[in-house]
Amino acid sequence: MFESLIREADSRFHLGDDSARFVRMLVDAVFNSGSGGFSGMRSRFADVGLGALFSSWIGTSPGDNVLQPDQFSAGFGESPARNIATRLGMPPVAVNLAGAWLLPKIVGLVTRGGAIPEARPADYDRWFAAPAAETTATNDHGALANTGVWWMWPLGLVVLLVLTFSVVRGCSQETATPEPSPATPGAAA
């Protein structure tokens, strides 16, 4: 069920070995009983005015760009998105971008036929082995070095620099006062 989505996520977002991990984290969040499971996720999207959009994914194969990164962050939650970013060693902006593309597809996959799931799909364990222990800083640092996504943190930096440049450029600029032109030689006073 998730194999083609994992491959496509890797192809689009260059996540390497983290593609399956990222998809698993999103599926886990959808079915997290501590936050209400699937119904809780649906409610969070409704709470931020995106309930109709979320419902449109149920039982369908959503196309691309049906959710914007800021909408993903609002409905999914900034804290869970930041947690995923930290665990994968990615900038939050990259998680929001990839999550905005992946979440509608995941909802469509787990609600085939329009049925609202009560638990993870049957083939979950086949595609996603039990989560690896991620408790030590050494493991997280080693994961950063070995994931092949080391270059993603500069993406966040570039976005920050572009935004800063835009803000600075947009600020009211001082108007330069023209300097008096030098007197032309030979002019009578």
Residue 136 maps to a domain = no
**Number of domains present in the structure of the chain:** 1
Residue 173 maps to a domain = no
Q: Does residue 141 carry a pLDDT above 80?
A: no
Cα angle, residue 178 at apex, residues 174 and 180 outer, rounded to 5°: 150
Q: Write out pLDDT tens, residues 157-177.
A: 555 555 555 555 655 454 445
CB 149, CB 89: distance < 8 Å? yes
CB 58, CB 108: distance < 8 Å? yes
For 125-142, letters b (16+ CB in 10 Å) and e give eebbeeeeeeeeeeeeee
| CATH number of residue 26's parent domain | 1.10.10
Segments forming the whole domain that contains residue 70: 3-130+147-167
pLDDT score, position 165: 55
Q: Write out pLDDT tens, residues 67-118.
A: 999 999 999 999 999 999 999 999 999 999 999 999 999 999 889 888 888 8
Alpha helices in the chain (DSSP H): 3-13, 18-30, 37-47, 51-57, 69-76, 78-88, 92-110, 124-127, 137-146, 152-170
Residue 81 maps to a domain = yes
Residue 137 maps to a domain = no
Q: Does residue 59 carry a pLDDT above 70?
A: yes
For 78-114, letters b (16+ CB in 10 Å) and e give eebbeebbebbbbbbbbbbbbbbbbbbbbbbbbbeee
